[in-house]
Amino acid sequence: MLEGAAYEEARDHELRKSRIVMVDGRVLENQCSSENGRCARVRIGGHWGQAAAPGDADRATLRDRARGHARTLARLGPRAAVPLPAAHALGQFGLASEAGLCTSVVLDRLQGLTARCRQSYPALTSLKLMAVEDRHVKRIHTSFGSDAVAILHRSVLMVTMATEDDEGRPIELTERVAVRGPLADLPLESGLFASRIDELHGHLQAKRHAVPVRAGEHVVVLAPRLTGILAHEAMGHPCEADAVRGGAVTGSLLGHQVASDEVTLIDVAHHHEGQEVLVPVYVDDEGVPAVDAVLIERGILMGYMHSRETAADMGRPPTGNARAWGAADAPLVRMRNTLILPGTRRAQELVDEVDDGYWLIDTNNGEADATTEFMFGVTMGYEIRHGRLGRAIRDTTVSGSALKVLRQVEGVANDLQWHSTGYCGKRQLMVVSEGGPSLRTRVRLGGR
């Protein structure tokens, strides 16, 4: 029996993963795993209880255990609890394809790619390929009437080339490609992929002679992958409503100018411009229909991403951003497909107009802060001198205040690209994607 203002949620969650690692044609890892779990979450009087167990556990037992945990916390005293919004979703959402795991086809394709790279780039120290596939199937029931199945399926290939620099020290670069669906759908035979691999090798050769970055603040042109991570780290995390409740400075900036009016930032739920995005979320793990969250519109901070609870606390509608990585994980406010909308300039123009700066191309990770100070690692870039590309630069770190960096945006190109090759790591892993065009602004760079 539900108690007053209570909420209950049950999630059956199957996660199948496949991972193949090949170095110079030798398979170092070829493994498949399946996890199937069941999670019950209960909110009574503002206190949450949760119980998770393998997928054959009895649902009623788990629910009762979760209720017991919530009541245990009740001994700490009553807690003000705003009723949760009662949004609900019905139906099946997402790809229904089966995971194409552990297939010889994938191994053959990776062997073929290795052979082609070995033939084209014989001087590499090593070539590492890592193929990873995740497939989530979640069945979500809530006391607000949600009864939904959500399927999310992503595959990624990472190609890492290594060689030595002028001083005989190891250097490496990685290219990544992602698809919705199984590993077998990766376009390894396409001409576009071949040209990306060739470009990667070209950058690696340039990096052999790379120079340290001059430390300090510089004009930079961010390539689309960097703009994507800027969107995610710089203003995406500070616009997660749990971060706002936790004191992120965005909490006092709603309705204020936080970026150049060339910047519009959206967390896309499932479609953009009529196309399904790389990580389509139609219903979140609290059974809430997912909608786009417009975070910044023409430079003005418009809103945040919400779970049921943060939406209730802030008096806003939920956006469908509550997501859980594994069966035992509680849904947290997470991004889905974070996008800075493209502008009208050509990327080359943004470079041509720089007298002294850097073109930053690739990144390996990033981090956000409550202060809106963000950082991300840069693994590939070039100097810009008098509008022309110069020497490659060594690995560096970008940092800055998101507000300052986004206010200093002085050009947004029309070359939108989407990327989804890693995981966001806020307490739990999460599959996300980022989209953005080339963009020019000022940031701090670490160096000599």
Partner 1 sequence: MDAGGPDGLEAIASQSLRQVLAQGFEQAMVDARTGVSTDLGIEHDRIAVLGTTQTRRATLVGIVAGRRARIDTWDLSHEAIVGAASALWRAAQVAPVDESWFVSSGQRATVEKGPLDADPELLVDRATEWLDWAAANTPTVRIKIGQVSHQLTRSCCLSSEGSEIRCAVGALSAGAAFNAREGPLTSSYGAAGGCSHDFVGRPLQEHFGIDEAMRAAARSLQPRSWASHGLPGVGDVLLAPAAAAPLLEWLLGQLTDERLLTRTSLFRDQVGQQIASPQLSLTHRPGAPGVIPVSADGHIVEPLSVIDQGRLQTLLPSAHGSRKTGLSHRPIASSGWAVAAGDRPWCERLAEIEHGVLVSRLAMGRPAANGDFSGVAKNSFLIRDGRVDGALGETMVSGNIAQVLGSIHALSRERLDTGDWLLPWIHASNVHYS
Give the chain's count of helices (H) and strands (E). 8, 26
Beta strands of 59-198 (E only): which ranges?
90-93, 126-142, 147-164, 170-180
User: Scanning residues 311 to 370, which ones bind partner 1 (CB under 8 A)?
Assistant: 328, 330, 363-367, 369-370
Least distance to partner 1 from the beta carbon of 104, Å? 3
Q: Which is it for strands 216-222 and 356-367: parallel, antiparallel or unpaired? A: parallel
Is residue 446 involved in binding partner 1 (CB under 8 A)? yes
Q: Which is nearer to partner 1, 391 or 427 (CB)?
A: 427
Q: Which span (29-37, 136-144, 179-187, 296-304) binds partner 1, by CB under 8 A?
A: 29-37
User: Scanning residues 160 to 189, which ones bind partner 1 (CB under 8 A)?
Assistant: 160, 162, 165, 169-172
Residue from the set 11, 63, 65, 440 that interacts with partner 1 by CB under 8 A = 65
Rounded Cα distance between 48 and 73, Å, is 8
Least distance to partner 1 from the beta carbon of 237, Å? 10
Rounded Cα distance between 25 and 226, Å, is 31
Say which residues have a Cβ less than 8 Å from residue 168's Cβ, sequence separation at least 6: none
| SS3 (DSSP) at 403 | helix
Is residue 447 involved in binding partner 1 (CB under 8 A)? yes
- What CA–CA distances, in Å, run from 98 to 72, 114, 180, 195? 41, 27, 12, 30
User: Scanning residues 256 to 295, which ones bind partner 1 (CB under 8 A)?
Assistant: none
Is residue 116 involved in binding partner 1 (CB under 8 A)? no
Q: Which is nearer to partner 1, 333 or 431 (CB)?
A: 333
Structure token digits, residue 371: 């202060």
Is residue 137 involved in binding partner 1 (CB under 8 A)? no
Is residue 445 involved in binding partner 1 (CB under 8 A)? yes
Residue from the set 78, 166, 191, 252 that interacts with partner 1 by CB under 8 A = 252
- What CA–CA distances, in Å, run from 169 to 116, 163, 166, 207, 381? 25, 8, 7, 11, 18
Is residue 122 involved in binding partner 1 (CB under 8 A)? no
Is residue 375 involved in binding partner 1 (CB under 8 A)? yes
Rounded Cα distance between 267 and 292, Å, is 6
User: Scanning residues 181 to 240, which ones bind partner 1 (CB under 8 A)?
Assistant: 215-216
Is residue 7 involved in binding partner 1 (CB under 8 A)? no
Q: Which span (32-40, 84-92, 115-123, 279-287) binds partner 1, by CB under 8 A?
A: 32-40
Q: Which is nearer to partner 1, 172 or 349 (CB)?
A: 172
Q: Which is it for strands 373-385 and 396-401: parallel, antiparallel or unpaired? A: antiparallel
Is residue 107 involved in binding partner 1 (CB under 8 A)? yes
Least distance to partner 1 from the beta carbon of 103, Å? 7
Q: Give the H or E element holding residue 3.
A: none
Structure token digits, residue 18: 């496949």
